[in-house]
Every structure is written in structure tokens, then in C-alpha cells.
Amino acid sequence: MATNILNVYSAALAALSMGMRVSRTAIALIAGIVGYVVTLYFLAQPSFAKAFDNWMISLLLWMSPWAGIILADFYLVRRGQIDVAELYREPSLSAYGDINWGAIVSFVVGLVAGWSVEDGLVPALQGPISTKLLAGADLSWLVGIVVAGGLYLVLGRRTEPIVVPQAMRGGR
């Protein structure tokens, strides 16, 4: 219980930051119930460790392409510069815009590429390249990062660079 307090609180804050018009208490209650149900599911499995490992593998599959896009955008496209004030403006007025479709496409392609070389415990998470050509080696994290990040560099760039005040540069 004590370990999950921060998880429930963080989930509530994340939901509120997405603009949901629900009280923090209600969101925390929902997150707590979902966490409890998932824990019961894990405990009901023949092997808690195997069920938990499957969950962790599923997280790795989507986190790798996401990380590739974030790293490519921050370090290579924006060169460590983010204008925080622009992040909070209306999308139609913000220099960052609304939806970056290049990032969405890069994420999906990175997800599929990562899956193709993944060797998860669940058959659905066993990619054809990993099982047939790599003797079960799991390179999903590397392929997901490289493919999504590389494709984002091609598809996701904004045409106009954003001038960031010196005080807001990424920790320099």
C-alpha cells in the first residue's frame, strides 16, 4: 500500500495534466482500484514472476520507440532547447503546434520494428525476426529506439526553429 501511494498520486496528476475535468480524488480512487485489480490478476496467475515479467516486457516494447523520439527531438532537433512557456499556449498559437504526425508515425513504425525482434514470454510478444533469425535474442529496445528516433529525424521536424531564451536552455 505504501509503495503505491506515489503511483496513484502520479497517475492522478498525469490525468489532470491531460485536461480531464475530474477531481484529483476521483482519479486517485480510479487509479487505486485499477492497480488493485491488476495486482489481484498477477497474484491469481500460476507464476507471479512470469506474469510480472510479461508486464515489464510490454512496457519495454512501447517505451523504447517513445524514448527514441524524445531523445532525437530534444538533443538533435531542438539542440537541448525547450521554450516551456510555448508548451502551455493554445496549440493553434504555440510554436510547437498541436499534433506532430511525424512523431506518431515514427512511434508506430518503431513499435512494429521493436516487436519484430522481441522475444517475450507471451507468444504475441515474440517477433518473427527474433524467433526465426536471432535464436530468441531480444533486441527490441535497441531497434525501437533507433528506428523510431531515426524516422522521427526524417518525418518529425518542425520547419521553423524556436528561439529559446538563454535561461530556459536545457540545464546549460
pTM, to two decimals: 0.72
Give the residue carrying C-alpha cell 525501437.
144
**Nearest of 167, 171, 110, 100 to residue 141 by alpha carbon:** 110
Report the b/e string of 127-145 with b at 16+ CB within 10 A: bebbbeeeeeebbbbebbb
Q: Tell me the pLDDT tens digit for each residue of 63-102.
A: 999 999 999 988 998 888 888 888 888 888 887 778 888 8
Q: Tell me the pLDDT tens digit for each residue of 91-150.
A: 888 877 788 888 999 999 999 999 898 887 677 777 888 778 887 777 889 999 999 999
Per-residue pLDDT band at 159 (split at 50, 70, 90) = very low
In degrees rounded to 5, what are phi and psi of residue 126?
-110, 105
The three cell numbers of residue 63 are 517505451
Long-range contacts of 47-55 (CB under 8 A, 24+ apart): 50/121, 53/121, 54/120, 54/121, 54/122, 54/125
